[in-house]
């Protein structure tokens, strides 16, 4: 299956987020050259290739976007915690863990 150029740009941006760090859907959209298209990042991640660190992408408020009791949300949280990212009240402290692309 062919991947659109915008999805490819999203996947490349997600792949740059280092272990133990997170980014928001909006951050990834901006890095991918698609500012204001955070929802498109979500759509792309739903179809992401194996091995992409999709678990490092969160909502703008630091929460996991998936339904809280879903297997995928539990997997995402476990993967982040395995990388040393902590949650407080269901949120990740973006001031502490957010990855910001270097200019």
CATH number of 74's domain:
1.10.10.10
Q: Structurally, how many domains does the chain consist of?
A: 1
CA angle 76, 79, 82 (to 5 degrees): 150
Domain that holds residue 93: 5-97
In a domain, 72, yes or no: yes
pLDDT digits (tens, 9 = 90+) for 35-58: 999 999 999 999 999 999 999 999
Does residue 103 fall inside a structural domain? no
State residue 39's pLDDT score: 97
In a domain, 102, yes or no: no
**Residue 63 resides in a domain:** yes
Burial class (CB in 10 A: 0-12, 13-18, 19+), 31: buried
Query: Of 29, 32, 27, 26, which Cα lies nearest the Cα of 12?
Result: 32
Q: Is residue 59 part of a domain?
A: yes
Q: Give CA–CA dist 75/32, Å, rounded.
A: 25
**Low-confidence residues in the chain, pLDDT < 70:** 1-3, 101-103
């Amino acid at each position: 299956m062919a991947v659109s150029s915008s999805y490819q740009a999203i996947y490349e941006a997600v792949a740059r987020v280092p272990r133990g760090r997170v980014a928001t859907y909006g951050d990834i959209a901006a890095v991918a050259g698609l500012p204001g298209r955070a929802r498109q990042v979500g759509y792309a991640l739903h179809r992401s290739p194996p091995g992409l660190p999709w678990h490092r992408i969160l909502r703008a408020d630091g929460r996991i976007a998936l339904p809280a009791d879903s297997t995928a949300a539990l997997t995402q949280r476990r993967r982040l915690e395995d990388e040393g990212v902590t949650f407080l009240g269901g949120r990740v402290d973006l001031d502490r863990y957010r990855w910001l692309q270097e200019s």
